[in-house]
Amino acid sequence: MDGKVLLWTRNSIFQVRLYAGNRRYIYKSLKTRNLDEAREKAVRAYYELEFRKEQKLPTRQKRFNDVIDEYIAMRQSQYERGTHKQSNKQNQQHRGADMLRQIKRVSKFWREYCGGKQVDTIDDALLRDYVNWRRDYYRRMPTHEMPKNAKLNPADKTLEWETTFALTLLKYAHERGYRGNKPLPKYRYKASRNKTRPAFTLDEYRKLYKGLRRWIHEEKNNAKKRYARELLRDYVLILSNSGMRVGEANNLRESDLVEITDDNGRTLYGFNVDGKTGKRFVVLRSNGKRYVDRVLERNKKWADNWELASKNDVKQHNRRNADRGDWLFKMADGNKIITLIDQFNKVLEREGITYNPDGEKYTLYSLRHFYAVQMLRTGKVNVFDIARNMGTSVQIIESYYGKHATSRLLATRLGG
């Protein structure tokens, strides 16, 4: 081909150099020791390259796995530099350590599904077929190999998020020229309906916190285990009296606490949270103040133990001390909590309230939903103030919680 294709061997394996124009070359292994086969593959590669140039496709092909690697590396770098914080709310939803973990978790599905494919070959049909593949993912897996908290049936919202994430990856690839002039796919799975999220009933909630109280009293010998149980109790009570998201609570620092006095002369706590919808001020219900005071007092009591453990970690070059700080909620070793779901599930199982009557499993997020329903039912606070305190929209409040939360005041008016 007038010198545009060059063959040579490396460790007896044939390699090819293809001229891409503008003094640029593409190198690749032909993965064969046979000369005739190498010639055939090299010529085929040359014509494929010419076709891609003619169609204005990228000459250097990228696999979807490569794009995922690049994207995660970019997000990791942004997070470490602190530039993951964006000024607009849309971008604020895609930042932080929790989001980075979510991106890495979801990436594993896309790697398995189509990670080996060229990124410019991924189209709407492939994205559409992902939904059925994903629904059967854990059904194909032997039971003993399933992750501990894996859901056999992914929720509609999960599928919507995962297909949206794939579009984000493809847009990233497109902006870097990895897809040439090929149009971006548009398929995104949309949840067919708003599924009401499970919220504890008042009786179930009473059963929960009484169960937590008993669970604490049962542990009398091991100080760390008792600490963990006390932590879970106060964590549950603060979430259910504030409506905060789990991730927002996990990231709270003692310095985020603000003591305020209301018009009734009551002393309340407020939290400066930084969550998926940005920064906001969350006011804790008045009866929740003692729960926060209990956490602060316990942190102060354990401070010397944590300081000693931190010094020992430094001596031993243990990196876990990097998670220590003025976190409001800390594990017994002084580190920031990641999740308390395992202990929470254990208490639910003990009390026989793991599922609601519709068979939906309660989670820590059910405490946020409980807060919303109870605040609506009292009728003392309007929906706009509830939405603002929870960091969500009035539409979401009405869609997810409204039909379960007819207030007594409204019922009285409707009843004539």
Query: What's the mean pLDDT in 356-376?
Result: 90
Q: Residue 133 pLDDT more than 80? A: yes
**pLDDT at residue number 88:** 44
Question: Over the stretch 290-321, which tens digit does the pLDDT of each residue have?
Answer: 999 999 999 999 988 888 776 666 554 454 44
**pLDDT at residue number 12:** 93
Question: Over the stretch 53-73, which tens digit does the pLDDT of each residue have?
Answer: 776 766 667 899 999 999 999
Q: Residue 207 pLDDT more than 80? A: yes
Query: What's the mean pLDDT in 341-359?
Result: 92
Task: Give the lowest-confidence range in 24-33, 239-248, 265-274, 304-313.
Answer: 304-313
Task: Give the lowest-confidence range in 28-37, 93-102, 275-284.
Answer: 93-102
Question: Over the stretch 369-392, which tens digit does the pLDDT of each residue have?
Answer: 999 989 888 878 888 999 999 998
Please give the residue that has the higher pLDDT: either 137 or 82.
137
Q: Which of 43-52, 248-257, 373-382 has the highest mean pLDDT?
A: 248-257
Grade residue 117 by pLDDT with cuts at 50, 70 and 90.
very high
**pLDDT at residue number 293:** 96
Grade residue 323 by pLDDT with cuts at 50, 70 and 90.
low
Q: Which of 94-98, 278-282, 342-346 has the highest mean pLDDT?
A: 342-346
Please give the residue that has the higher pLDDT: either 157 or 36.
36
Q: Residue 89 pLDDT more than 50? A: no
**Dist CA 362 CA 297 (whole Å):** 30
Grade residue 90 by pLDDT with cuts at 50, 70 and 90.
very low
**pLDDT at residue number 324:** 65
Query: What's the mean pLDDT in 212-216?
Result: 96
pLDDT, averaged across the chain: 85
Task: Give the lowest-confidence range in 29-33, 138-142, 264-268, 394-398.
Answer: 394-398
Q: Write down the pTM of the prediction.
A: 0.63
Share of the chain above pLDDT 90, in %: 54
Q: Residue 126 pLDDT more than 90? A: yes
Grade residue 195 by pLDDT with cuts at 50, 70 and 90.
low
Task: Give the lowest-confidence range in 22-26, 104-108, 116-120, 389-393.
Answer: 22-26
Q: Residue 243 pLDDT more than 80? A: yes
